[in-house]
């Protein structure tokens, strides 16, 4: 489980990218629909999966172990404790890691997970509500930074 208020190395990159996507969504609209802009920003492809290599390796190793033991209830228990978007993200990472494992069976899981996590992701795996919170917090932070100058 992630520790409360922990910040990953990529958080500022993710936040800046979300704000950019949000601005592009607004610019595309003739009549501004803010909710649609947040949804559009959250659904844009991402340059990587927004999870640390370490955390992903822990989850994927547990999923691989459960799958190898044919314990489907354990797989569902692990994934069932997550929000829908995060569950989808881990399923995609898991699918990609298994495909790589077929190609390179002797490669360590950590190495495969690191490779997959740093591949482009089909979207941000974030609800539009969460994207809204992140975008507003980032805009607030930028405004405060400008005011301090």
pLDDT tens profile 84-119: 999 999 999 999 999 999 999 999 999 999 999 999
Instruction: Please state, in angstroms and rounded to a whole number, the distance separating the CA atoms of residues 31 and 9.
Output: 36
Residues 39 and 98 in one domain: no
Determine the structural domain holding residue 80 and report its residue range.
Answer: 50-119
The number of domains in the chain is 2
pLDDT of residue 10: 84
Q: How many CA atoms lie within 13 A of 145 on its CB side?
A: 6
Sign of CA dihedral 82, 115, 18, 91: negative
Residues 138 and 115 in one domain: no
pLDDT of residue 11: 86
Residues 59 and 104 in one domain: yes
Residues 41 and 72 in one domain: no
Residues 63 and 100 in one domain: yes
The pLDDT of residue 83 is above 70: yes
Residues 60 and 82 in one domain: yes
pLDDT of residue 8: 65
The pair of three-digit structure tokens given for residue 106, joined into one six-digit string: 């002797």
Residue 94 vs residues 37, 42, 59, 85, 110: alpha-carbon distances, Å: 30, 21, 9, 14, 12
Q: Are 137 and 144 in contact (CB under 8 A)?
A: no
């Amino acid at each position: 489980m992630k520790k409360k208020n922990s910040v990953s190395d990529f958080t500022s990159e993710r936040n800046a990218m979300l704000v950019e996507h949000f601005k592009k969504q607004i610019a595309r609209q003739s009549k501004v629909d803010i909710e649609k802009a947040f949804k559009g920003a959250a659904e844009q492809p991402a340059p990587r999966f927004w999870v640390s290599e370490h955390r992903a390796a822990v989850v994927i190793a547990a999923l691989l172990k459960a799958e190898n033991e044919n314990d489907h209830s354990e797989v569902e228990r692990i994934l069932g404790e997550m929000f829908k978007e995060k569950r989808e993200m881990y399923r995609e990472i898991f699918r990609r890691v298994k495909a790589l494992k077929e190609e390179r069976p002797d490669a360590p899981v950590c190495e495969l997970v690191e490779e997959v996590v740093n591949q482009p992701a089909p979207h941000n795996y974030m609800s539009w509500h969460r994207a809204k919170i992140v975008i507003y917090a980032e805009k607030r932070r930028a405004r405060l930074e400008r005011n301090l100058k």
